[in-house]
Structure 1
Amino acid sequence: MLQKTHSLAGALAAECTMIYFHQPLLTWESGAALLIGCLAGPLADIDKKGSTMAKIFLPLSSILHFLGVKHRTLTHSLLVLIGLHFLLSPLPNFFYWTCMLSYASHPLIDMLNEQGVALLWPWKKRFRLLPKFAAIDTGSFAEIVFRTLLLILVIVLPLVFLMPKGMW
């Protein structure tokens, strides 16, 4: 999936966290959560040379490439999610779950792709959620449709669940 798709998935995960924690939409916490979602969603692609995240976090990306980390392996694995759990556990629950779910959205939607994800890395088996014939290829029309559905959800969910009563 492309970065914009992952950013929307991360934003949607942040909005779901906002809904769960009954966080009003028009607060600095919600603004921070949406920013976190847009950044944490595509962050797993730090392992892909040339990606926006690899450019932003160049030193870390360079270390991953030096170590021979392949795309959709370590950074897309449960191992990194466990590491993030320990790293982020001091955060307040709202921000902890925003970060965790936004980051986890990345390998989840990459499992819709034919290539799948090495979710249990270093075990090389790749997991995917759809059979090959129904998989969503990166940059394809199917991804555009999927991204459009994510965009609709990102717009509609806050209007339905987070706007103050009487404004909608």
Structure 2
Amino acid sequence: MTVKGHIIFTIASSVLIQHFIFSNIMYHDDWWRIIPVSIVTCLLPDIDNPQSILGRKIKILSYLINKIFGHRGFTHSLLSVLVFSFIIFSINLKLNCVFDVKLGLIIGYCSHIVADILTPSGVPLLWPYKKKFKLPLITKKFLKEDIFCYLYLIFSLYLLYPICNNIIMKFFY
């Protein structure tokens, strides 16, 4: 998946996760903090590819991770999500919106992995077990990446419509 695809997919995923999972414990305006933070980490799993945007910025680390685990290895697994989540939640920040920030970081990382599952290459979710999990909805023949990601974004925003409508009504009336 391309950088643009991952970013669009992450934005849509952030909106849906905040709305359907965390809407009871968070205010609806919190997703304005979650989205930018999730974008920051949506490319992090590709640190294992020295040709990726992040890999080109941190060449030595990217090269080492690639040599040890390969591309779409450990960094695209549930184990990496657990390690990343543990690191994120063990960092003690003194911010008012620390939960939003940590949640956004994890959403960005996880959305990357889910997006890669939707490609024909798949990901080794149960790494070090090598089997790749895939649900190839995004292919060059069936559904192109850009079209899929934009449809997903439109769908996620459409599901927000009642909330947006309520906010607009409260603002104007």
Match of 2:27 in 1: 23
For 2:65, the aligned partner's letter is L
- Partners in 2 of 1:58 and 1:87 — Cα distance? 22
The TM-score normalised by the length of structure 1 is 0.77
Instruction: State yes or no: 1:11 paired with 2:11.
Output: yes
Distance 1:23 1:52, change over 3 A: farther
CA offset digits 1:107-135 (Å, max 9, x no partner): 112111111111111111111124xxxx4
Partners in 1 of 2:52 and 2:140 — Cα distance?
13
Determine if contact 2:121/2:134 at 8 Å carries over to the other structure.
yes
Structure of larger gyration radius: 2
User: Where in structure 1 are there 5+ consecutive unaligned residues?
Assistant: none
The equivalent residue for 1:125 is 131
CA 59–101 in structure 1, closer or farther in 2 if over 3 Å, else same = same
Which of these residues, 114, 117, 128, is aligned with residue 108 of structure 1?
114
Aligned residues: 160
Counterpart of 1:48? Answer: 49
Identify the range of structure 1 (1-10 vs 87-96) with the bigger mean alpha-carbon deviation.
Answer: 87-96
RMSD of aligned Cα (Å): 2.8
CA contact (8 A) 1:77 1:117 kept: yes
Kindly report which structure 2 residues correspond to 1:141-160, keeping only aligned pairs within 5 A, or say none.
142-153=144-155, 155-156=157-158, 160=162
Matched to 1:34, the amino acid is I
Alignment counterpart, residue 137 of structure 1, candidates 136, 139, 158: 139
Change (3 A) 1:100 1:138: farther
**8 Å Cα contact 2:15/2:157 also seen in 1:** no
What whole-Å deviation, never above 9, does each CA across 1:55-77 have from its counterpart, x for those lacking one?
23334213213x33211111100
Indicate the residue corresponding to 1:88 in structure 2. 88
Superposition deviation, residue 157 in structure 1: 5.2
CA contact (8 A) 2:33 2:100 kept: no
Normalising by structure 2, we get a TM-score of 0.75
Q: Distance in 2 between matches of 1:82 and 1:35?
A: 22
Unaligned runs of 5+ in 2: 93-97
- 1:114-167 CA deviation, whole Å, 9 max, x = no partner? 11111111111111124xxxx423798621211221332465455543572415
In 2: Cα distance, 1:109 partner to 1:74 partner: 16
Change (3 A) 1:16 1:122: same
The change in CA–CA distance for 1:110 and 1:32 in structure 2 (over 3 A counts) is: same
